[in-house]
Amino acid sequence: MFASLKRFFDFCGRQDRKKLYTAIGLGVIKAIFAAMRISAIAVIVMGIIDKDMTNKNIYIALAILGASFFGQLFINMKTTMLQTEAGFHCCANKRIEIAEHMRYLPMGYFNDNSLGHITGVTTNTMENLSDVATRVVMLTTQGILTTFVITALVFVFDWRIGLILTAGIAVYTLFNSLMQKSTRKGAPRRQKAETELVASVIEFVQGIAEVKNYNLTLSRAKKLEKTIKAKQKCDTHLEFDVIPFIALQEIVTKLTGVIMCAASVYFYIDGSMSLLYCIMMMVSAFMVYESLDIMAGYSALIRSVDICVGLANEIMAIPEMDINGEDIEPASRDIELENVTFAYDNRMIIDGVNLKIPEKTTTAIVGPSGGGKTTLTNLIARFWDVKGGSVKLGGRDVRDYSFDSLMKNFSFVFQRVYLFEDTIANNIRFGSPEASIDRVIEAAKKARCHDFIMSLPDGYDTVIGEGGASLSGGEKQRISIARAIMKDSPIIILDEATANVDPENEAELTQAIEELTKEKTIIMIAHRLKTVEHADRIIVIDGGRIVQQGRHSELMQQQGIYRTFVEDRQKAVSWKL
**pLDDT per residue over 339-389, tens digit each?**
999 887 678 888 888 989 898 888 888 888 778 888 888 888 888 888 888
pLDDT value at position 351?
A: 86
> Element (H or E) spanning 219, and its range?
helix 217-269
pLDDT value at position 497?
A: 59
Percent with pLDDT over 90 in the chain? 3
**Is residue 340 within 8 Å of 350, Cβ to Cβ?**
yes
Who wins on pLDDT, 442 or 431?
442
Number of residues in the chain: 577
> Which of 412-416, 468-472, 489-493 has maximum average pLDDT?
489-493
Q: How far is 483 from 440, CA to CA, in rounded Å?
A: 9
pLDDT value at position 572?
A: 58
What residues form DSSP beta bridges with 363?
523, 537
Give the angle subtended at the CA of 245 by the CAs of 282 and 10, to the nearest 5°.
95
- CA nearest 424: which of 412, 440, 445, 404? 440
Instruction: Kindly tell me if the per-residue pLDDT of 435 is higher than 80.
Output: yes
If you average pLDDT over residues 57-66, what whole number do you get? 82
Provide the sign of the torsion angle of the four alpha carbons 212, 218, 223, 229, taken in this order: positive
User: Between the CA of residue 577 and those of 389, 494, 571, 573, 574, what are the distances in Å?
Assistant: 50, 32, 13, 11, 10
Give the angle subtended at the CA of 256 by the CAs of 252 and 257, to the nearest 5°.
120
If you average pLDDT over residues 16-43, what whole number do you get? 79
Instruction: Kindly tell me if the per-residue pLDDT of 108 is higher than 70.
Output: no
Q: How far is 489 from 491, CA to CA, in rounded Å?
A: 6
CB atoms within 10 A of CB 15: 13
pLDDT value at position 98?
A: 83
Query: Rounded to 10 degrees, what is the CA torsion of 275, 276, 277, 279?
Result: 80
If you average pLDDT over residues 17-40, what whole number do you get? 79
If you average pLDDT over residues 243-265, what whole number do you get? 85
pLDDT value at position 163?
A: 92
pLDDT value at position 206?
A: 63
If you average pLDDT over residues 15-43, what whole number do you get? 79
pLDDT value at position 219?
A: 67
pLDDT value at position 453?
A: 87
If you average pLDDT over residues 82-104, what whole number do you get? 81
What residues form DSSP beta bridges with 413?
494
- CA nearest 398: which of 492, 322, 493? 322
If you average pLDDT over residues 65-86, what whole number do you get? 83
Query: What value does the CA radius of gyration of the chain take, rounded to a whole number of Å?
Result: 35
pLDDT value at position 506?
A: 63
Give the angle subtended at the CA of 443 by the CAs of 440 and 446, to the nearest 5°.
150
If you average pLDDT over residues 275-302, what whole number do you get? 75
Who wins on pLDDT, 58 or 217?
58
Band (pLDDT 50/70/90 cuts) for residue 115 is low
If you average pLDDT over residues 526-553, what whole number do you get? 82
> Contacts from 244-250 at CB under 8 Å and sequence distance 24+?
245/175, 245/176, 245/178, 245/179, 245/182, 245/300, 246/179, 246/296, 246/297, 246/300, 248/175, 249/172, 249/175, 249/176, 249/179, 249/292, 249/296, 250/293, 250/296
Is 344 in a helix, a strand, or coil? strand
The domain spans of the chain are 84-316
Who wins on pLDDT, 468 or 507?
507
Is 421 in a helix, a strand, or coil? coil
What is the pTM assigned to this prediction?
0.59
Q: What is the CATH number of domain 84-316?
A: 1.20.1560.10
Summary mean pLDDT of the chain: 79
Band (pLDDT 50/70/90 cuts) for residue 577 is very low
User: Between the CA of residue 103 and those of 106, 107, 208, 333, what are the distances in Å?
Assistant: 9, 9, 29, 24
Could you tell me which residues come within 8 angstroms of residue 71 by beta carbon, excluding any fewer than 6 positions away? 29, 30, 33, 36
Q: How far is 377 from 393, CA to CA, in rounded Å?
A: 13
